[in-house]
Amino acid sequence: MNQRTLGNSNLKVSAIGLGCMGMSSGYGPAGEKQAMISVIRGAVERGVTFFDTAEIYGPFKNEELVGEALAPFRRDVKIATKFGFRIGPNGERMEGLDSRPAHIKEVAEASLKRLRTDVIDLFYQHRVDPDVPIEDTAGAVKELIEAGKVRHFGLSEAGAKTIRRAHAVQPVTALQSEYSLFWREPETEIIPTLEELGIGFVPFSPLGKGFLTGKIDENTKFDPTDFRNIVPRFTPEARKSNQAVVDLLNSIATRLKATPAQVALAWLLAQKPWIVPIPGTTKLPRLIENLGATSVELTPGDLREIKTASDKITLQGARYPENLQKLVGR
């Protein structure tokens, strides 16, 4: 698989990474451990070198899974994980944000053990903590980099001003935020800021939390533990209305002999050479389909067609419920 460099850093990764969250949490019951290990190792066998996890996924279980799955290949892959939440003593609940420098260093030590490694390739602040100056957060990660425990600093869902302030203390290698044809808001301010500063972009939910695959419609029923049950954009009414964007992808996919998911990912890859999407899956056939997006060639005409049609579609429903929306864009 082709490699991409995240911004002006020396962090080179596969053009498409693997988001591992859904293997442990978020989209219903956790997957069976050995089956998930097989999917992760199947990704490695197919050229994926970039794997995304976080302490909060599980909590803790996803880092342990990723650490075990990638242990035999550690020298050949890059692992990204995240800090920034305060988690209950037994990992049973999230208790709020916590990016105090001392806590960041505690999280790093614990993550290193769970990931079975001596260095974290990319350490993101999961959400901006309004109670801790971003300069203090960046400074703590800078110390971890100087100590050889972290290689690169990242932010997630941060606003443009925060990105600039953090970058002035410790260069930010990548921003991870939602971006897809289902959520194009980063095009307004975030992407120009990243381009100016030389920061890479790692879109999560590049398939619109599964919606852009074309496998979800207004009648789809989610598991009771699936996060999408509380997402306004996933109410049956919103799904029915938002089908227009899937119809757009289907029309392009049919012409190119591809799938809607492949066109959606190819569109992202075509936006900037420093964008690396991280679609998640628990199924090997879906992984193989997603990686096939690197072979989908969208012409300038295709891209113009997608943009023109997408610009005319007003998607219904917020991407987060109000309590979670407060945590993004700070």
Catalytic residue of the set 57, 124, 179, 320: 57
Half-sphere exposure of 236 (CA within 13 A, CB side): 5
Whole-number Å distance between alpha carbons of 104 and 100:
6
Query: How many other C-beta atoms lie within 10 A of the C-beta of residue 226?
Result: 18
CA–CA separation, 23 vs 276, rounded Å? Answer: 20
For the beta carbon of residue 221, count every other beta carbon within 10 angstroms: 8
Q: Is 124 a catalytic residue?
A: no
| Cβ-defined contacts of 159-165 (< 8 Å, 24+) | 159/128, 159/329, 159/330, 160/189, 160/190, 160/193, 162/128, 162/134, 162/330, 163/190, 163/193, 163/194, 163/197, 163/199, 164/193, 164/197, 165/134, 165/135, 165/138
* Conformational region of residue 255, where left means phi above 0, alpha means psi within -120 to 50, and beta covers everything else: alpha
CB burial readout 61-91, b (16+ within 10 A) else e: bbbbbbbbbbeeeeeebbbbbbbbbbbeeee
Q: Which residues are catalytic?
A: 57
